[in-house]
Amino acid sequence: MNDVALRVENLAKVFQMGHHLAYHRFTEFIENMAKNVARLPSRLMSSKPAKAKTDANLFWALDDVSFEVQRGEVFGVIGRNGAGKSTLLKLLSRITTPTRGRIEIRGRVGSLLEVGTGFHHELTGRENVFLNGAFLGMTRREIKQKFDAIVAFAEVERFLDTPVKHYSSGMYIRLAFSIAAHLEPEILIVDEVLGVGDAAFQKKSMDVMRDVARRGCTCLIVSHNLPTITNLCTRALLLRSGRLAANGPVDEVVEQYLATGLSLGGEIVWNDPATAPGYDIVRLHAVRVRHTDSLSSTADIGISQEIEIEISYWNLLDQECLSAGFTLRDHVATSVFTTSSMRPVSLTPDAWGGMPHPVGLFRSVCRIPAHTLNEGRYAITPFVGHGLTEPFARAEDVLSFNIHDTGEMRGEYFGHWPGVVRPWLPWSTEQMS
Amino acid sequence: MSSLADNAASQRSTEGTRLVVIDAARAASWFDWRELWNYRELIWILAARDITVRYRQAVVGVAWVVLQPVAEMVVFSGLFSLLGKRPAGEAVPYTISLLCGLLLWQLFAAIVGSATSCLVDNRPLLTKVYFPRMVLPLAVCLRPLVDFGVGLVVLAGLMAWFHVAPSLALLMMPLVVLATVITALALGLWLSALNAHYRDFGYIVPFLLRIGFFVSPVIYETASLNIPTQWHLLYSLNPMSSLLESFRWSLIGTAGPEVIEVVASLVATILVLVTGAWYFRRVERFLADRI
């Protein structure tokens, strides 16, 4: 039976660049009116039509997106930052209205968009439960029936009469999640909140999500955390620059997300040796990242893929002894490691590493084995020079890429995996007595 | 079924689940009473929060509410007695007439003031959760009403002290108060939407309220002004002038406004209310993007 909970047709949302950021002033409005009135005579005299609004500063956050979600389906939405995921959620949860297109929603929508969404900081935990129920359009009596279950799940009994501004972020999210799950919305929209909390809470919330789905509640999950998506969802859609790039079974969509990076992603190129980073001895030409299954550069790499970092550079001074290298930093700028093509540093002997270079363009490639880095964003600082300490050309954090967890190591755990690196190591245990 | 649905209109489909259709091609419905009714719980919770914050420490809360009109009463009655003028009739002590004006004006000004900033103040909610936005200006009406109730007790005490007894016209008082709330709300709809869009309204409104305070018969009675007859109608277009006169009439039996004045201010109020609701709905659609 065709039982559609959510139907989206040709949905589009346009923002005027800079327009929604700045506050307007009524005085400016008056000023513009006055200017227009002053210009009116000359405009009436000339036969030229009034200048049309330019399209240049319009930004289509979503463009012509159509899809359907069946009742009871757990549906994932993936895409890079700025692909339009949040805009889509805001439209579906009716926070803002579309520029074009149509949305049909069957049933009460509950949304869990961020930590503390719909919470009032001055109110106590107890009052916030009722506030959130009221946001869903529930009556006091309906909320009262669920109250005990909500509090028990969230484990905040002791703090019920404390204003939520004194809550830790963990307590916050537990309460928010508990409310959203227990107030039984018919459609639940979840954004990036499943990855928080400790392991025990993670497991609990995953179970609740499954439960919610089993009860026939339709779920829409947005996450950067691919294991969450692949484990919970049956179908997913992929957004790219506001357009629908894929829509289908979750495995296929995730694969497509990893396979095709943004065209700009994964490389940076300086075409002019006069302005590229460096100076008279050596200049950087390009830095590229790719995984070994792909020939083109990509900023999205699976955790189980081997990574290639390519640094190309111009040597401008004959017989200069050069080696290339880079420092890798994680998203909090912790240095993960520094490596170089120099003889003792490189695992395999590099023919040019630290050797005299003739004038010309060179390319060095470094391979990082699969299962080395943890999931997350990493930034590359490439350098070329005498060894590690005397770079002639260096460019700080010029290129970043993402390592995506595809779930091989995870089993039942979906939360944050601590550590800068995540090597896949052999273990053996034997009974001693 | 969908062709019947208005923008963001909700209706019950056959299975009993609610269908909501959001269609960019259709204009927003002018006013959605039913949805607002569904969210009555939210109005109450938001209003209750305002009230508990003010009256959490009961004594301080009440003192604070009473202090402002009483202080103003002392200042203005002192001022006019020093000037040797009496901007009110002889029937009742000026102090009582003055406090009547101050209390009703305070109710009006508090609603207009807090309605103006209600959307901007609740920006975190507006950008994260859906609810009918009109809930916010409606919710801010209740706290000023409670304050007003506290003020009325003080007024009753003062009337007893001066042996001023109200007549049967007292029965009309709730109606006058209701009309005042509606008038303030009508302006509040305009101003909250304008303030969300043009942030400098936050500065303009206190200034306008200050002017309104002197233009309306708050610290004087209309009868003691020498307004040329041809200006009477214009004067009564300010809904607060006939409301303040009606309020005094119902409580202390001073001369009420003429029927034509009441009609004029009623028309003005309805016009502001209808256009305010229309403008609010217009701004509401893009509120989360622009606020």
In a domain, A241, yes or no: yes
Q: Does pLDDT of A37 surpass 80?
A: no
Residues of A in contact with B13 (CB under 8 A): 106
* Most B-contacting residue of A7, A9, A13, A23 (CB-CB within 10 A), to test interface: A23
Q: Give the CA angle between residues B238, B239, B242 to the nearest 5°.
A: 100
Residues A120 and A83 in one domain: yes
Q: Which domain holds residue A24?
A: 4-252
**Greater model confidence, A322 or B1:** A322
* Most A-contacting residue of B194, B290, B291 (CB-CB within 10 A), to test interface: B290
Q: What is the CATH number of the domain that holds A343?
A: 2.70.50.60
Roughly what angle, to the nearest 10 degrees, separates helices B142-161 and B40-55?
50
What value does the mean pLDDT of chain A take? 81
- Residues 26-85 in B contacting A (C-alpha not used; CB under 8 Å): 38-39, 41-42, 44-46, 49, 53
Residues A225 and A272 in one domain: no
- Of A289-293, A363-367, A410-414, B115-119, minimum mean pLDDT range: A410-414
pLDDT, tens digit, 9 for 90 and up, residues B209-262: 999 999 999 998 888 877 777 787 778 788 899 999 999 999 988 888 888 888
CB A287 within 8 A of CB A268: yes
How far is B39 from chain A, CA to nearest CA, in Å? 5
**pTM for the complete prediction?**
0.71
Q: What is the pLDDT of residue A330?
A: 81
Q: How many beta-carbon pairs below 8 A join chains A and B?
A: 122
The model's confidence at residue A17, banded by pLDDT at 50, 70 and 90, is low
- Of A99-103, A341-345, A354-358, B55-59, minimum mean pLDDT range: B55-59
Instruction: Choose one of A197, A221, A252: the last residue of a domain.
Output: A252
Q: Give the span between the Cα atoms of A71 and A73, in whole angstroms.
A: 5
Q: Is A384 helix (H, G, I), strand (E, B) or coil?
A: strand
Residues A239 and A276 in one domain: no
Residues A319 and A393 in one domain: yes
Give the chain B residue whose CA is nearest to the CA of A135.
Answer: B131
pLDDT, tens digit, 9 for 90 and up, residues A291-319: 887 778 888 888 888 999 999 999 998 88
pLDDT, tens digit, 9 for 90 and up, residues A192-246: 666 555 666 667 777 777 777 787 788 888 876 676 788 788 899 999 888 998 9
Give the chain A residue whose CA is nearest to the CA of B285.
Answer: A97
Q: Give the CA angle between residues A353, A354, A360 to the nearest 5°.
A: 75
Residues of A in contact with B197 (CB under 8 A): 24
Tokens of A254: 């995730």
Q: Give the span between the Cα atoms of B22 and B2, in whole angstroms.
A: 10
Instruction: Choose one of A229, A252, A275: the last residue of a domain.
Output: A252
CB–CB contact A120 B49 (8 Å):
yes
- Residues 4-33 in B contacting A (C-alpha not used; CB under 8 Å): 8, 13, 17-25
In a domain, A230, yes or no: yes
Q: Give the span between the Cα atoms of A216 and A5, in whole angstroms.
A: 10
Residues A190 and A271 in one domain: no
In a domain, A414, yes or no: no
The model's confidence at residue A81, banded by pLDDT at 50, 70 and 90, is low
Q: Mean of the pLDDT values across residues A389-401?
A: 81
In a domain, A262, yes or no: no
Residues A97 and A184 in one domain: yes
Q: Is B247 helix (H, G, I), strand (E, B) or coil?
A: helix
Which has the closest alpha carbon to A186: A108, A292, A91, A255? A108
Residues A63 and A207 in one domain: yes
Give the chain A residue whose CA is nearest to the CA of B284.
Answer: A96
C-alpha distance from residue B249 to each of B19, B164, B168, B222, B256 (Å): 50, 13, 11, 12, 5
By Cβ distance, the residue of B125, B126, B198 closest to A25 is: B198
Residues A207 and A324 in one domain: no
Q: Which amino acid is at B165?
A: A
pLDDT in tens, chain B (291 residues): 333 333 344 444 344 567 788 887 776 666 777 888 888 888 998 898 888 878 877 788 788 888 888 999 999 989 988 888 778 777 788 899 999 999 999 999 999 999 999 998 888 888 888 888 999 999 999 999 999 999 999 999 999 998 888 888 889 999 999 999 999 999 999 999 999 888 788 888 999 999 999 999 999 888 887 777 778 777 878 889 999 999 999 998 888 888 888 888 889 999 999 999 999 988 888 788 776
Q: Quick one: CA torsion of A125, A126, A127, A129, rounded to 10 degrees?
A: 90
By Cβ distance, the residue of A102, A138, A140 closest to B24 is: A102
**Greater model confidence, B142 or A261:** B142
The H or E element that residue B215 is part of is: helix B201-215
Contacts of A81 (CB under 8 A, 6+ apart): none
Tokens of A102: 């149509």
Residues A229 and A374 in one domain: no
Strand partners, A398: none
CB B120 within 8 A of CB B196: yes
Residues A44 and A93 in one domain: yes
In a domain, A417, yes or no: no
Residues A37 and A179 in one domain: yes
Residues of A in contact with B49 (CB under 8 A): 120, 122-123, 127
In a domain, A232, yes or no: yes
How far is B190 from chain A, CA to nearest CA, in Å? 13
Tokens of A79: 């895409």
Q: Give the span between the Cα atoms of A1 and A3, in whole angstroms.
A: 6
**Greater model confidence, A395 or B244:** B244
CB–CB contact B289 A15 (8 Å):
yes
In a domain, A415, yes or no: no
Which has the closest alpha carbon to A70: A213, A210, A225? A213
What percentage of chain A has pLDDT greater than the value 90? 20
The model's confidence at residue A18, banded by pLDDT at 50, 70 and 90, is low
Q: Give the span between the Cα atoms of A404 and A341, in whole angstroms.
A: 27
Q: Give the CA angle between residues A381, A268, A84 to the nearest 5°.
A: 105
By Cβ distance, the residue of B44, B49, B199 closest to A123 is: B49
The model's confidence at residue A392, banded by pLDDT at 50, 70 and 90, is confident
CB–CB contact B127 A108 (8 Å):
no
pLDDT, tens digit, 9 for 90 and up, residues A111-150: 776 656 678 777 888 888 888 888 877 778 888 888 888 8
C-alpha distance from residue A62 to each of A15, A83, A239, B23, B256 (Å): 10, 8, 9, 15, 59
Q: What is the pLDDT of residue A275?
A: 81
Q: What is the CATH number of the domain that holds A173?
A: 3.40.50.300
Instruction: Choose one of A227, A252, A277: the last residue of a domain.
Output: A252
Q: Does pLDDT of A346 surpass 70?
A: yes
Q: Give the span between the Cα atoms of B18 and A281, in whole angstroms.
A: 71
Which has the closest alpha carbon to A104: A12, A8, A190, A221? A8
Residues A226 and A370 in one domain: no
Q: Give the span between the Cα atoms of A138 and B15, in whole angstroms.
A: 19
Q: How many domains does chain A have?
A: 2
In a domain, A340, yes or no: yes
